[in-house]
């Protein structure tokens, strides 16, 4: 069975004191949870939070990195620098980076390929906008993002890949895909991964696919009952310890 993941994406939120306090609470909870527990703090907080999580089951990841060793790339973070902090997990392709910073699936593919070959675990985000859903293009958008983002990724690298389906229209809006809608998208993503190359169907059954988009303690249980939903990538509800612990229950 695929292990469930509850991951908190803190985005550009929380003070250092708040991030540290939540991390301390999650260290204890992660030790007894049946789920994998992940957090993605602001880059400025990675050193402090990863230090708190060291030696525990709490996984600390980076919201972004650049596909290179140490080099002249202003404003970016290298996996080499992340490794110094013991961080081996990174988000790629979040809708905010696509929508506001112009990241494309082709650019994400370069990141994914580099990170996986470097031994990092990648959480690759995909999802459609409301306009795309209303036009009936949800599946074509997901197919495009999967095929371009995972192009030429070899079978041996998929063990370190997680997919997060985040419909853009549900992120921070209070709207949430119904469990049926989310399951439909997750099943499609799993099928598309299985069609990437010969032998990929077995890989697709093992890959963890998370749902993101206004996930809260009061709706996560229904989402996780669906066979193709393997956890949540959570924004607002992960930024308070009480609600994060509610997600883990």
Catalytic residue among 166, 183, 186, 192: 166
On whether the CB atoms of residues 46 and 14 are closer than 8 A, the answer is no
Half-sphere exposure at residue 125, Cβ-oriented, CA atoms within 13 angstroms = 26
Looking at residue 4, what is its pLDDT?
98
121: domain CATH number is 3.20.20.70
Residues facing 20 on adjacent strands: none
Residues facing 211 on adjacent strands: 165, 232
Percent of the residues in the chain that have a pLDDT greater than 90, as a whole number = 93
How many domains does the structure of the chain reveal?
1
From residue 134, give the alpha-carbon distance in Å to each of 103, 139, 168.
23, 12, 13
Tokens of 40: 């993605």
Looking at residue 1, what is its pLDDT?
85
- Whole-angstrom distance, CA of residue 94 vs CA of residue 232: 14
* pLDDT, tens digit, 9 for 90 and up, residues 160-179: 999 999 998 887 777 778 99
- Does the annotation count 94 as an active-site position? yes
Percent of the residues in the chain that have a pLDDT greater than 70, as a whole number = 100
- Whole-angstrom distance, CA of residue 224 vs CA of residue 14: 27
Query: 233: which DSSP letter?
Result: E
On whether the CB atoms of residues 112 and 222 are closer than 8 A, the answer is no
- Sequence length of the chain is 249
- Whole-angstrom distance, CA of residue 80 vs CA of residue 11: 22
DSSP codes, 170-209? GSSSS----HHHHHHHHHHHHHHHHTSSTTHHHHHHHSEE
- For residue 215, pLDDT over 80 is answered with yes
* pLDDT, tens digit, 9 for 90 and up, residues 26-68: 999 999 999 999 999 999 999 999 999 999 999 999 999 999 9
Looking at residue 92, what is its pLDDT?
98
Mean pLDDT of 124-151: 96
Helices (H), 91-248: 95-101, 105-117, 130-134, 138-149, 179-194, 200-206, 220-224, 241-248
Catalytic residue among 35, 45, 94, 186: 94
Residue of higher predicted confidence among 214 and 185? 185
199-145-175 Cα angle (round to 5): 120
Domain that holds residue 232: 5-248
Least confident of 85-89, 174-178, 215-219: 174-178
Looking at residue 169, what is its pLDDT?
87
Nearest to 205 by CA among 187, 178, 181, 180: 187
């Amino acid at each position: 069975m695929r292990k469930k993941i509850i991951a908190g994406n803190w985005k550009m939120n929380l003070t250092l004191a708040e991030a540290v306090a939540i991390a301390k609470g999650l260290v204890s909870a992660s030790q007894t949870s049946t789920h994998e527990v992940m957090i993605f703090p602001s880059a400025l907080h990675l050193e402090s939070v990863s230090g708190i999580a060291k030696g525990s089951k709490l996984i600390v990841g980076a919201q972004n990195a650049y596909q290179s060793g140490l080099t002249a790339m202003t404003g970016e973070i290298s996996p080499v620098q992340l490794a110094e902090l013991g961080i081996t997990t990174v988000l790629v392709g979040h809708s905010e980076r696509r929508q506001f910073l112009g990241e494309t699936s082709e650019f994400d593919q370069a990141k994914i390929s580099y990170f996986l070959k470097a031994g990092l675990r990648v959480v690759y985000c995909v999802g459609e906008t409301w306009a795309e859903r209303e036009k009936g293009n949800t599946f074509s958008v997901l197919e495009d993002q999967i095929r371009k983002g995972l192009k030429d990724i070899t079978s041996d690298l998929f063990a370190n890949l997680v997919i997060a389906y985040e419909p853009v229209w549900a992120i921070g809006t209070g709207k949430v895909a119904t469990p049926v809608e989310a399951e439909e998208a997750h099943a499609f993503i799993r099928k598309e991964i299985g069609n990437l190359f010969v032998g990929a169907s077995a890989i697709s059954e093992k890959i963890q696919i998370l749902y993101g988009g206004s996930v809260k303690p009061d709706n996560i249980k229904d989402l996780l009952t669906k066979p193709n939903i393997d956890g949540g990538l959570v924004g607002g509800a992960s930024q308070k310890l009480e609600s994060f612990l509610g997600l883990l229950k």
